[in-house]
Structure 1
Amino acid sequence: MRGTTRPGRARRWLTLTTVVLAVLLPLAVTLGRGLPNPVAAPLDWIAYSWLGVAFYAFLTLVVLEPVRWALRRWTRRPLADGPGAAVVEEAVVDPARRLFLGRSLAATAGVVALATAGTGAYLANSPPRVRRVPITLPRLDPALDGLRIVTFSDAHLSATYGGRRFERVVELVNQQRPDVVAIVGDLVDGEVAQLRGEVAPLADLVSEQGVYFVTGNHEYFVDTRAWLRHLPTLGIDVLHNERVAIRRGSASFDLAGIDDRTAASSGIPGQGADLDAALDGRDDSRPVVLLAHQPVQVEQAAAAGVDLQLSGHTHGGQLWPFDHVVRLDQPAVEGWSRQGPTQLYVTPGVGFWGPPMRVGATPEVTVIELKAP
């Protein structure tokens, strides 16, 4: 599409603004984690918000391109071959019409982009919805019927997400009166020193039988070991390729957790998903619920006879239409599905990564209610 502004001061200022916004994004990516939160927050908010707006402006312009082509003849004025002569079929471009069309399409793209990004920002920063999902496990003892596993993922605590918004997540979890709380990865996007205050509300989680955590891929972008030392001080049990028994009276099932699938390539000794180690020696007569950050890890879970896997990672796509891209790598984007003999539930997460917005992907705290057959 041709320029919609005439040469002059306005165009120079708009060009400069666009260049500055474009430069802020690589600065936020490269410097964001090394800056104090009060400095990083405005940088990240501006840079990533601009990215979201620019993406939807580009998408809208792509959709409008056929409209421009359909109207391109309207931007031409016919030529007449002298006074009183018949109109010649060939025409010359009418600059006024072309400018009006260009500005109209650009304004439409701007309005759509700003409205979409604004709605997405409001949704991403609103309290998560609570979704209740009953799941029947064929081997579950009737004494465990109704046991509640409250799960969430992908908080991505950072300079742009935390504070009161994360406190509300903890409050929502507690309101569900969980028997078990399961945090399935990508909790943080920064170091302990930066996010100590943001993660502190986790200490307020109340659960009958514990709060459990497994790593996501973003835990390996920072000092993983420091976080694995810090989380237990908040009452969080890290399941590192291991399992625990969840009991009610004499009845029980196994809750297992494995590292993220990227852990093995992180270069950190001892890290790497090992489902065999997590399940070694277990009683096969009772069900097992597996916490694994990425849905694709269900391939191993199904081969091992896992009854239910709880995952996150996808954000439900976060920004439509990226949910279709996610399907190229993951077997499910959001919600319940059956993967062979294993049931899979993918929670869309409570936070965001990159643009501080969610379009077509509502943040969620999930209450898994186990049912006996």
Structure 2
Amino acid sequence: MTDTSNTRPADSDAPAPRPSGLHRVMRYLPLVAPVLLWTVPCWVLLHSGQHWPLPVALGGTALFVLGLVVMPLAMARGHGRRQQDAAAIVGDTLLGSSWVLFTWSLLLGVPLWLVLTVAGVGEGQDRARTVTWAVLGTTAVLLAWGYAEARRVPRVRRLDVLLPRLGAGLDGTRVALITDTHYGPLDRARWSERVCETVNTLEADLVCHTGDIADGTAERRRAQAAPLGTVRATHARVYVTGNHEYYSEAQGWVDLMDELGWEPLRNRHLLLERGGDTLVVAGVDDVTAESSGLAGHRAHLDGALEGADPELPVLLLAHQPKFIDRAAAGGVDLQLSGHTHGGQIWPFHQLVRLDQPALAGLTRHGPRTLLYTSRGTGFWGPPFRVFAPSEITLLVLRSPHASATV
């Protein structure tokens, strides 16, 4: 493995992008979202014709009001300046629970009430209570299942990726991808060990981590991240920063990954040589790096590829799928990304699509460039994954020239 292009260019490839549709929506979410998440289910379940006994109606309403007050306060304490893990767990859990309850109050509760009304099933109060129990039952099942999905060791997703410029000697190169581990308030040190054990069973030539290692500083989350030092690869273990590193002292994470034996590809590349052929393995800082104000951190593709033979195939690590436009313009063959979590809790994926060109899986962008977007290995915030399972990915690179040499 040859290490080249160690420079850290001062200029980025392009001016900072204009705020996306998602970012414009997100400006108002902290004010509007908590109210909607708690008042809509409260109305659907307690005040839309049920006529519950007064103690039930008052008690239920009080619980919704309590959630509306506690959730933002706990999240502010947990993810704000104080960084209180216990508060973060409470706030994140309430956020995920209220989102699922809100979603199914609208998507199940309202249509079910209309269907029962049109069908003439039951009296008004009976219909309303049927809706309430259906929504609560569905929410409980999805939250229990979603919690188990979030805490489990991800399944391995395997796929072959044909790269037309890949040399025959590189055919069969095994690339393991983990991303968005998000070590955080819930201690997942044992989970981290089991993930790394699973990665080691894949016997990969190259292991990649495409960022968002944790929520919190490297010093604070060191115990959870430490098992990454046990990961094995035939050629190299490579890492790029995600946006969450820039919320928590990104340079500390770069230094820790270097200490654990990983190669932080900060706008530079390595050469993977196998069977007489060569693959350029490049990486860039996250697209949010420049706005973080951290000196020397920015996404710079030209710097990452400086000195590389333009005739060689390029595998690029970039945390966010949205970098694919620059990758395609730069002639990259395959970009590996994470960030989206596949939506994490359905149907949040619809909001993710406002910000990113791909949600999950392999997609083509332009005549040459492929993008693989992982649904992520861990979870952010709410400890739930609903219809968006986590993954450890094994990509087997294929060459169209391999058969000619057999």
**Which interval holds the TM-score relative to the shorter structure?**
0.7 to 0.9
**What is the aligned counterpart of 1:288 among 314, 318, 336?**
314
Query: Corresponding residue for 2:339?
Result: 313
CA contact (8 A) 2:79 2:88 kept: no
Within the candidate set 88, 104, 112, 1:44 is matched to 88
Amino acid at match of 1:25: M
In structure 1, the partner of 2:54 is 7
Q: Call closer, same or farther: CA 1:337–1:6 in 2, change over 3 Å.
A: same
Answering whether residue 281 of structure 2 is matched by residue 255 of structure 1, we say yes
- Taking the aligned partners of 2:324 and 2:136, their CA distance within structure 1 comes to 41
Following superposition, the deviation at residue 15 of structure 1 comes to: 3.7
Q: 2:168 aligns with which of 135, 142, 152?
A: 142
1:352 to 360, 379, 403: 379
Please report how far the alpha carbon of residue 161 of structure 1 lies from its aligned counterpart in structure 2 after TM superposition: 5.5
* SS of equivalent residue, structure 2 residue 342: helix
Q: Please give the residue correspondences for 1:36-185 in structure 2 after superposition, counting only pairs within 5 Å.
A: 40-41=85-86, 43-63=87-107, 64-69=109-114, 97-160=123-186, 162-185=188-211
Determine if the alignment matches structure 1 residue 372 to structure 2 residue 393.
no
Q: Is contact 2:92-2:382 (8 Å) kept?
A: yes
Q: One-letter code of the match for 1:7? A: L
- Identity within the alignment, %: 39
State the 1:182 CA deviation: 0.4
Question: Does 2:390 align with 1:363?
Answer: yes
Distance 2:340 2:288 in 1: 15
Secondary structure, counterpart of 2:319 in structure 1: coil
Tell me which residue corresponds to 1:23.
69
> Which one of the candidate residues 183, 192, 196 is aligned to 2:218?
192
What displacement does 1:151 show? 0.6
Of residues 19-28 and 52-61 in structure 1, the stretch that sits farther from structure 2 once superposed is: 19-28
Offset at 1:351? 0.8
Question: How far apart are the structure 1 equivalents of 2:180 and 2:232?
Answer: 20
> Take 2:320 and 2:173, find their aligned partners in 1: how far apart are those partners?
24
Deviation at 1:50, TM superposition (A): 2.6
CA displacement at 1:7 relative to structure 2: 2.3
Report the residue type matching 1:364 in the other structure: E
Moved more, 43-52 or 218-227: 43-52
State the TM-score, normalized to the length of structure 2: 0.80
State the secondary structure of the residue aligned to 1:286: coil
- Opposite residue 104 of structure 1, the aligned amino acid is T
For residue 329 of structure 1, what is the amino acid of its counterpart? D
Instruction: Single out whichever of 124-133 and 57-66 deviates more from structure 2.
Output: 57-66
Q: Does 1:243 align with 2:269?
A: yes
What amino acid does structure 1 have at the position aligned with 2:54?
P
Rounded Cα–Cα distance in structure 1 between residues aligned with 2:180 and 2:152: 15
CA distance in 1, matches of 2:101, 2:256: 42
Q: Which has the greater radius of gyration?
A: 1
**1:93 matched residue in structure 2:** none
Paired residue secondary structure (1:328): helix
Corresponding residue of 1:334: 360
Cα offset for 1:46?
Answer: 3.5
Quick check: 1:129–1:365 contact (8 Å CA) kept in 2?
A: yes
The 3 A distance-change label for structure 1 pair 285 and 66 is: closer
Q: 5+ unaligned residues in a row in structure 2: which ranges?
A: 1-43, 401-406
Separation in structure 2 between the aligned mates of residue 220 and residue 35 of structure 1, nearest angstrom: 15
The question of whether the paired residues in 2 share the 8 Å contact of 1:44 and 1:160 is answered with no
Question: Which residue does the alignment assign to 2:232?
Answer: 206
Structure 2 contact 239–264 (Cα < 8 Å) conserved: yes
Note if contact 2:211-2:243 (Cα within 8 Å) is conserved in structure 1: yes
CA apart distance, 1:130: 0.7
Contact 2:78-2:91 at 8 Å conserved across structures: no
Distance in 1 (CA, whole Å) between partners of 2:80 and 2:334 is 39
TM-score, normalization by structure 1: 0.87
